[in-house]
Structure formats: C-alpha cells, structure tokens
Amino acid sequence: MRTRDRVAQLLLERGAATAAELGAQLGLSPAAIRKHLDAMLADQLVEVRESRSAAPRGRGRPAKAFVLTAAARDGFPHFYDGLASAALRWIADQCGPEAVTAFAATQVASLEERCGTALQEAGDDPIARAEALAEALTAEGYAASATTIATGGQLCQHHCPVAHVAAEFPQLCDAETAVISRLVGTHVQRLATIAHGDGVCTTHIPGPAREKTATTVRTG
C-alpha cells in the first residue's frame, strides 16, 4: 500500500490526526508525512482543523490536525449508492415510508447476527460489549472504536458504507442504532452521523447509574 493510501486509511480510522501522530504511527518523520498531506491538500482530499489535544501546549502555533474530505471518503467503498438510492425511492413511492423502515431493519439483520456471534463471550457489561462490538464492526468495514468516558462509553464508526444513501433515508441509521442498542444491552443515543455531515458516527452508551454517597454530618 502506498504511503499516501496508508495516511488516508489512518485518517479514516482516527477521524483526525496531526502530521506528528501520523508519522509516529507509520514510522516516518513529520516532514515526510507533511509532503503527502500537502499533496492531499492540493487534491482536496484532506482539510485542516486546529488540534484539540488535551495535553498542555507549549509556545508556538497550535498543531494542525488533518481530516478526510467528503471527496476522499468517496474513494472508499459505498456499495453502489446510486442504485441503492433509486431502489429505496421506488419502495417509498410504491409502498410508503414504512416499507423503507422495514427494508432497513431487514438489511441490518444479518449484520446483527454476525456481530452477535462475535459478542457471545463479551459478558453483560455494556461498555465491554461495546468494545467487542467495535472489533466486530471493524471487521465489517466500519473502522470502529470504543472508548470509556465519564458518563459511560462511546462507540465511534469512522466509515459508513452506506453514508450517501443514509443521508436521504435516515431509516438506515435508525435501524443500525437499534442494532447497537440490542447488542450492547442498553439504551443508546446517536450523537453524530457521517450521513448528516459529521466526521464520525458517534453513539453514546450510558454507564451504570452511580449511587450517591451519603454524608454524615457530626454535631456537638
């Protein structure tokens, strides 16, 4: 795989990264990575954002983070978007929006079955199941990752094979969200989707409710 393709794949998986982060991952100097990023900028395959690193920043300019553009994402498989969209429009026109919803549920049923098999030994903890689900979704081409946050967990999908179709038919996203909820075993909330123009599909998975600790006040 060409270095430029490896850079694109990493940006797809990470969502955003600096030249230094990409270089460290690929074993190349930041200067070497910047040459590829400059070429990708000229071809409108990446765009620049200010890095949101939580680490203390020294003097000088903020580090630049790079993200893939929509044009770059088009280079990854999208499963015959035009034909799929035309077929769903026909279904909606002939049978109504409820038929599209039913079709979407049918489409993700096999995905749910395959991922469910992968989660059989993940236990009952929703966060642990989300981590196992991320691995299963990555194997399906979604470039997924799971992280623990203060309010529970977060499942991120850095690639959506049907993003263009889902932009017109959100029932596909709804059906996928329902699958995630059933697989992790708890209610989840979609915070962002690639289909709606976000860089990553992000799903929040609430953690267990924390019990309030009673405080004893001494008097006297």
Centre a 10 Å sphere on the Cβ of residue 200 and count the other Cβ atoms it contains.
Answer: 22
Q: Among 195, 197, 202, 196, which Cα is nearest to 67's?
A: 197
Beta bridge partners of 46: 68
Instruction: State which H helix or E strand residue 17 sits in.
Output: strand 17-18
Model confidence over 168-183: pLDDT tens digits?
Answer: 999 999 999 999 999 9
Ramachandran class of 213: left when φ > 0, alpha when ψ lies in -120 to 50, beta otherwise: beta
- pTM more than 0.75: no
Tokens representing residue 179 in the block: 């699958």
pLDDT at 91 over 60: yes
CB count within 10 Å of CB 172 equals: 26
Per-residue pLDDT reduced to its tens digit, 141-170? 898 999 998 888 999 999 888 888 899 999
Angle at 34 (CA atoms; ends 28, 38), nearest 5 degrees: 145
Q: Residues of 35-48 as b/e, b for ≥16 C-beta within 10 angstroms? A: ebbeebeeeebbee
